[in-house]
Amino acid sequence: MTEDVVANAGPLMALAKLNLLYLLKELYGRVLFTRSVYDEVVLQGIHREFEDAHVLQRFLRQEGWEPIEVTDVPRLLASAHLDQGEQDSLALASKLKCLLLMDEERGRAVAQQFGVPMRGTLGILIQAYRSDLISADQLIFYFGELGRRTDIWISPALCRRLLAETLGATAR
């Protein structure tokens, strides 16, 4: 199954840190992202010497995926107190009527108000598991990593809850 999706910073950074960017191509075929997201996760990340920024830059170059300039953010969205990347990602996903990959709670709440379907990093991993791209053991490992790492801001409680819902008694 492939469909265009728009990715915000959170899932791109988390998947780069876990070396799982390939899942985006496998699940969606092509991922769109805005210039402001690229500037945040790649350019600023490289400036701060974050290894995941280099990983993401190499992956995007390899795939030939280029950032999209967003020039028309609806006024209602611009006043939603989101950062530029979140605003632009939400505006692009809304315009294209496609899935938005986003982790940030405030951005997800606004996306819901705008009727934009969304999925976060955990949802991407669950989809990869259900698509037989990763095993149950890998899903357990990656959820554990997401819950433990201090450079990825995903709630350990949410990781445990979604893992239990996905795997049931299989979850450890």
Look at residue 72 in the predicted model and tell me its pLDDT. Answer: 84
Check if the beta carbon of residue 4 is closer than 8 Å to that of residue 32: yes
- pLDDT per position as a tens digit, 127-170: 999 999 999 999 999 999 999 998 998 999 999 999 999 998 55
Quote the pTM value: 0.92
Look at residue 159 in the predicted model and tell me its pLDDT. Answer: 92
Residue ranges per structural domain of the chain: 5-119, 122-170
Look at residue 1 in the predicted model and tell me its pLDDT. Answer: 46
Statement: residue 44 has pLDDT above 70: yes
Look at residue 80 in the predicted model and tell me its pLDDT. Answer: 80
- pLDDT per position as a tens digit, 83-133: 999 999 999 999 999 999 999 999 999 999 989 999 999 999 999 999 999
Strand ranges of the sheet holding 118-119, from the earlier edge strand across to the other edge: 31-32, 5-7, 99-101, 118-119
Statement: residue 66 has pLDDT above 80: yes
Query: Which CATH architecture group holds 5-119?
Result: 3-Layer(aba) Sandwich (3.40)
Task: Give CA–CA dist 50/45, Å, rounded.
Answer: 5
CA distances from 64 to 25, 31, 32, 100 (A): 12, 10, 11, 20
